[in-house]
Amino acid sequence: MASLAQLSPLLGSQPRFTKQICALALVSLAAAYATTFFLGMQPPNVVRIYIKYALLVLVLIAATMILTYTLTLLVRREPRPIPKVRARAAEILSPTNIVDRVLPILLVSGFLGAFSVFKSLIPSIHAFAWDTAFSDFDRLIFGTDPWRLTHAFIGPTATRLIDYAYIMWVPVFSCVVFCHAVFARPEQKRRFFLSFFWCWIILGIVCAMIFSSAGPCFLNLIDHPYAGRYPFFPLENGAGSQRIMDYLAKGYLANDFGAAKGISAMPSMHIAVVTLYLLTARKPLWVCLSLAYFILILVGSVHLGWHYAVDGIFAALGTMGIYAMTAPARRERPALMTPQASLST
């Protein structure tokens, strides 16, 4: 029977946190496959796609780090570079370091595959039924359709910039997840990833199923009578968003479980995630950048017709509540001291 010291590296320096995110991700994956099975649908393959992509990126990053370190030693004319490169590679590839810094990225990738399945299943489980209420609620709050207010003040050039910021959400998201997994302090990492998983489960799956809605840009697709309230499609100055809308519309019509497919408006996970960026930012520069990006995505979601304004409001408030619930009751002490602790910042 393996001793505790032998098992500790397999759970990283925060074993409780490792168990929590593994449970959240794996239960979500199992639920996605079970749901498709009970609905008599073809099992999804998107999980494999997401994880393969994450592994490729991680291998490239590890190789780049080792190569950069090697070149640095050569430039410094290190007399014995090979032993130092081996030691650095062993440090990067140690079990504890992989669990602490690589496992969260792989779990996020696998979880997003499961989420993509659930998102594609929404209209099969609960037909889009809330668009009328959310569109009317927007008018009640703002006195008119919110997009009319943004279109009155934002011109074509600014619209193209907002569109670019909106479609850059995925690269920005990938960088933020990577930085939290690799560089964040233990407590900051714990709160970010626990909040991340719970936001996608509670808001992106449960609430999205309950408040099933397509969003303004897809009202024509579902033959909704309110489509005439949003007469600015196809987007003239939002080419990037329009391409993604067309991609999602094709997936919806084909009932496809492909990567990054599925239609769901309430709540906006784009806004939930950028709200999490703002909540976890600590240094003034990152707070300012996160706030600016939050405003761009919040305005862009309405201006480009992706969402009703209430989608973003609900997502932001829900994310703040979930983040508050992940506040530490007690600090978890590291399972054992290892040389990898020196990689923390």
Peptide bond into 146 cis (omega under 30): no
Mean pLDDT of 274-295: 95
Instruction: Please state, in angstroms and rounded to a whole number, the distance separating the CA atoms of residues 86 and 43.
Output: 42
How many CB atoms sit inside 10 A of residue 138's CB?
23
Question: At residue 47, does pLDDT exceed 70?
Answer: no
4 vs 215: which has the higher pLDDT = 215
CA distances from 315 to 85, 171, 186, 321 (A): 46, 21, 26, 10
| φ/ψ of residue 342, rounded to 5 | -70, -15
- Mapping DSSP to helix (H, G, I), strand (E, B) and coil, where does residue 79 land? coil
Looking at the chain, the whole-number percentage of residues with pLDDT higher than 90 is 53
The size of the chain, in residues, is: 345
pLDDT given for residue 90 in this prediction: 74
Residue-range domains of the chain with CATH? 106-328 (1.20.144)
Q: Is 233 left (phi over 0), alpha (psi -120 to 50) or beta?
A: beta
Q: Which runs of consecutive H residues, i.e. helices, occur in the chain?
A: 4-11, 15-38, 46-75, 81-92, 95-101, 103-125, 131-142, 146-153, 156-167, 169-182, 186-198, 208-210, 239-254, 269-280, 284-303, 309-325
Mean pLDDT taken over the chain: 86
Task: Answer for the pair 200, 113: CB distance below 8 angstroms, yes or no.
Answer: no
Record the pTM: 0.85
Question: At residue 202, does pLDDT exceed 80?
Answer: yes
Q: Which of 15-24, 45-54, 238-247, 291-300 has the lowest mean pLDDT?
A: 45-54
pLDDT given for residue 196 in this prediction: 96
Question: At residue 13, does pLDDT exceed 80?
Answer: no
